[in-house]
Structure 1
Amino acid sequence: MKYKYLLILLLALLSCGPLIAQEKGGWLKRIVQKTVTDTTSPGKPSFRIYPTLAYSPETSFEFGFSSLLLFQAKNDTLNRLSEVNAFTFITLEAQYGIWLDNAIYGDNDNWFFLGKTRFQRFPLLYYGIGPETSGDEPALIDANYLLLRQRVLRKVVPNLFLGPEIDYQQLYNTRFNQPKDHQGYEQPLGSSGGRNLGLGAALVYDNRHNVLNVRKGLFGEISFLKYHPSLGSDHNFQGVNLDVRSAHPTSKRNVLAWQVYGNFFSGDVPFNQMALMGGEMIMRGFYYGRYRDKNMLAAQAEHRWLPFSFSKRFGGTVFAAAAVVAPRVNEFSWKHIRPSGGVGLRYLLFPKKDIFLRLDVGFTKEGPGFYLFTGEAF
């Protein structure tokens, strides 16, 4: 989905916030002051909610709200910063959704709850399966989509966590709409809908203190999930997921970060649970699922100015990435590697907790993609 325009109501408020704050009274003044001023003391929970507005050809105008809850166990600043991030939206095409992400640490890091929830009625663009799919005239799969994924991890030794993982995904009320003036796509496995429940385990190393803005630290995860009819799944498949991220301060304000990410599936994998290239985290600029297959390997690097030396609130980034998909690991090919890169603007939303709002523009040969989220991409 290529955004032609991205109108950010929040940044408009932020830019005029100091002027509005000088006016006497009024509900708008109170909203702006609440949004741009972090009055919570260190260790105390912080909560923000702010509006977003966007436009794309597939959705028309999209109206949404983002909210972010930050806290530390027992209000102790020595504990890691936990976050619960929610995003809701509705469009003029009667599409809607709720996203919820959580990274919650217990006291002394004894427990770590890491997961995400998605519910949405939203079109999924389908370009086919494989590393050489055409970008012309994708099919449109209109469906309701539910995802529940959670890891419940226990500290084994400092910074190392181990525990079970559960993943439930359901696609229902589906309609596979072939593009006009196109020979049409063969409908992939799972295009008529279905549900799949995966159980497995995750091993995580994490020495980060601030998940949303890592200035120094290493995160590494390897997990295994098995989906089987005996668990209530419609399909029989399994997958290994790899995620390694590292951040290195180059100065007081500057950070160099990198990530290696991989999905490796085998069996009867439905199209919506394959390795998907693109999205707001890695390969920004590509529509999420522009390329898909059973296996993907991706890497990215990013330099962050948090904030700029001439500003207390505004910062920026530059980033570059590359990824490849293939039906089998031994079929990864140099000629199928897809590059992307871009720039981003940052606004310091929680000064006392060092949390930035990010607006990224990712560029590919197929056009740009725009992303507005709280916290860094990785």
Structure 2
Amino acid sequence: MRRVSRIKAIMLVVLYVCTLQVQATEKDSIQQKKNLRFSILGGPGYTPDYGLVIGGSCLFTFSTNVADTTMKRSVLPVAFAYMTNGGGSMIVRPQLFFNEDRFRIFGQFSMNSTLDNYYGVGYETNSSTDRGEKTTQYRSVGFKMNPIFLFRYSDTNLFLGASIDAGKRSMEEPSEGVINDPHFIAQGGTTEGLSFTNVGIGANISYDTRDIPANAYSGMFVEVSATYYPKAIGSTMEYGVYKLDYRQFRELKMLGERRVLAWMLNGRFTSGDVPITEMSLVGSPFDLRGYYLGHYRDRNALMSVVEYRHMFNAGDETRFRRLLSKCGFVTWGGVGSVSDKFMDSKHLLPNYGAGLRIEVQPRMNFRLDVGRDPTNKQNLIYFNMTEAF
């Protein structure tokens, strides 16, 4: 019955999106003349981490200088949800471009109060701990503000910048399994829960030749960042986080227009006294889709994904052809690992899946992905705006 309910929820969402696109197709010429464009999808849905939800996704795009026709359009995706099991969440991931793309603001802003799961720390513990109300469940409450300010260096594709990461994470209503976890106890956890304040300052260096960052057909993106969370400015614990993010895109012209091969390599490494809520994870809507977020956690994580993206080119002679040209699909394969050591790939986490794409704005897609976790033999479903990476 649960699987049937999920399938019904997916069908409702897909049908709703397609209906909206039939209407939107007739208005494309008008929308092209407007600076602010927005797409809104809402209603019942399903997420692998929170079950049935009532919520929506909004996508706002605009130019910060309408007189500059070469300016990249700023992207502001917003996702919000109310969970039927109690609580809710909201997340914003802006990509804002200013002053002839000489200044950018990226980052993430989020807040949540949701039932979540903590499987402990390390591959061995994570793989042997059963998910359940008495073993892994707790209520996650918190917020995060992480703006990244980037400045173009001279007339190159190199960007230098700084970031601020401020937030609070609380593990409330811990289950028996969480209360008895040695890492939870060592960091001060009690039957009432555990709470961390995290305030960090970071440095960022990136190289970016992507044609459109939110949905690139060509180009490369490489970013290296380091963020330090000292007790002196308010952090509960003192630690550092170091990230490597490499992505590359190539349009496969021999297969037709809008056929793209994309690949990425992502690493997150930590030092110091890292809170268990801030350790490195795999399994999100933006990397190894198919693993529950936080199922595998440790001090360091490394993952790689290769994805093929295919949009249909049916022409615009009829209404049906215009609608079909706004649809497409993706398929991907990837692998990841978590470890307390740097660059340790002793235990690999394979991943693959496929997804549906519907263009809600020029070069901006709604996506429905079904990811496979072969390690735990499960399939998870994701709804989001814009591409995974």
Which has more helix, going by share of residues? 2
Instruction: Report deviation, 1:52.
Output: 4.0
Partner of residue 24, structure 1: none
**SS of corresponding position for 1:5:** helix
Contact residue 299 and residue 341 of structure 2 kept, 8 A:
yes
Structure 1 83/348 Cα, relative in aligned 2: closer, same or farther at 3 Å?
same
TM-score (normalizing by structure 1): 0.88
Question: Which structure 2 segments of 5+ residues have no match?
Answer: 315-320
| Change beyond 3 A, Cα 1:17–1:274 | closer
CA distance in 1 between counterparts of 2:159 and 2:17 reads 39
Task: Note the C-alpha offset of 1:135.
Answer: 4.5
Alpha-carbon distance between aligned partners in 1 of 2:157 and 2:226, rounded to the nearest angstrom: 20
Query: What's the CA shift for 1:141?
Result: 2.0
Q: Does 1:257 align with 2:262?
A: yes
* Kept after mapping to 1: 8 A contact 2:47/2:382: no
Matched, 1:12 2:24: no
| Residue 233 of structure 2 is aligned to residue 228 of structure 1 | no
**Would you say 1:358 and 2:367 are equivalent positions?**
yes
Deviations 1:249-301 (A, max 9, x none): 01222100000000010111011111111010011100111111111111000
Higher mean Cα deviation, 131-140 or 321-330? 131-140
Does residue 322 (structure 1) correspond to residue 335 (structure 2)? The answer is yes
Shift of 1:178: 2.3
Spell out the pairing of 1:344-355 with structure 2 (5 A cutoff).
344-350=355-361, 353-355=362-364
Deviation at 1:205, TM superposition (A): 1.3
Q: 1:285-331 CA deviation, whole Å, 9 max, x = no partner?
A: 0011111111111100000002366831210010011011110216x
Q: Write the deviation string for residues 318-359 of structure 1: whole angstroms up to 9, x where unpaired.
A: 0011011110216x133x011000000011111xx2211110
Contact 1:117/1:149 (8 A) holds in 2: yes
CA contact (8 A) 1:216 1:249 kept: yes
Is the contact between residue 348 and residue 357 of structure 1 (CA under 8 Å) also seen in structure 2?
yes
The answer to whether 1:95 aligns with 2:87 is yes
CA distance in 1, matches of 2:306, 2:142: 31
Contact 1:190/1:270 (CA < 8 Å) preserved in 2? no
Structure 1 residue 67 displacement after superposition: 0.7
Of 129, 141, 147 in structure 1, the residue corresponding to residue 138 of structure 2 is 141
Residues 48 and 292, structure 2, Cα contact 8 Å, conserved in 1: no
TM-score, normalised by the number of residues in structure 2: 0.85
The Cα shift of 1:16 comes to 4.3
Cα offset, 1:160, TM superposition: 1.2
* 2:72 counterpart residue number: 80
Cα deviations across residues 196-217 of structure 1 (Å, max 9, x unaligned)? Answer: 1011110111122322211111
Alpha-carbon shift at residue 186 of structure 1 (Å): 2.7
Stretches of structure 1 lacking an aligned partner (at least 5 in a row): 19-31
Tell me, in whole angstroms, the C-alpha distance in 1 between the residues paired with 2:368 and 2:63: 26
Q: Tell me what 1:68 maps to.
A: 59
Distance (Å, rounded) in 2 between the aligned partners of 1:318 and 1:288? 20
Distance 1:14 1:326, change over 3 A: closer
- Per-residue CA deviation, residues 57-86 of structure 1 (Å, 9 max, x unaligned), is 974531002111111231233011210111
Task: Give, in whole Å, the separation in 2 of the partners of 1:275 and 1:285.
Answer: 17
CA contact (8 A) 2:130 2:136 kept: no
**2:301 is the counterpart of 1:296:** yes
Q: Structure 1 CA distance, aligned partners of 2:42 and 2:387?
A: 19
Whether the 8 Å CA contact 2:158–2:208 is kept in 1: the answer is yes
Task: Give the deviation of 1:143 after TM superposition.
Answer: 2.8
Contact 1:139–1:185 (8 Å) recurs in 2:
no
Separation of aligned partners in 1, 2:188 and 2:167: 11
Equivalent runs, 1:27-176 vs 2, <5 Å:
33=23, 37-38=27-28, 39-41=30-32, 44-55=35-46, 59=50, 61-75=52-66, 76-132=68-124, 133=126, 134-137=128-131, 138-157=135-154, 158-172=156-170, 174-176=172-174
114-123 vs 168-177, greater mean Cα deviation: 168-177
**1:11 deviation in Å?**
2.2
- What is the aligned-residue identity percentage? 27
Equivalent pairs counted in the alignment come to 358
What residue is the counterpart of 2:218 in the other structure? 216
C-alpha distance in structure 1 between counterparts of 2:188 and 2:243, whole Å: 21
Which amino acid letter does the alignment assign opposite residue 110 of structure 2?
R
Q: Is the contact between residue 82 and residue 211 of structure 1 (CA under 8 Å) also seen in structure 2?
A: no
Distance 1:81 1:57 in 2: 31
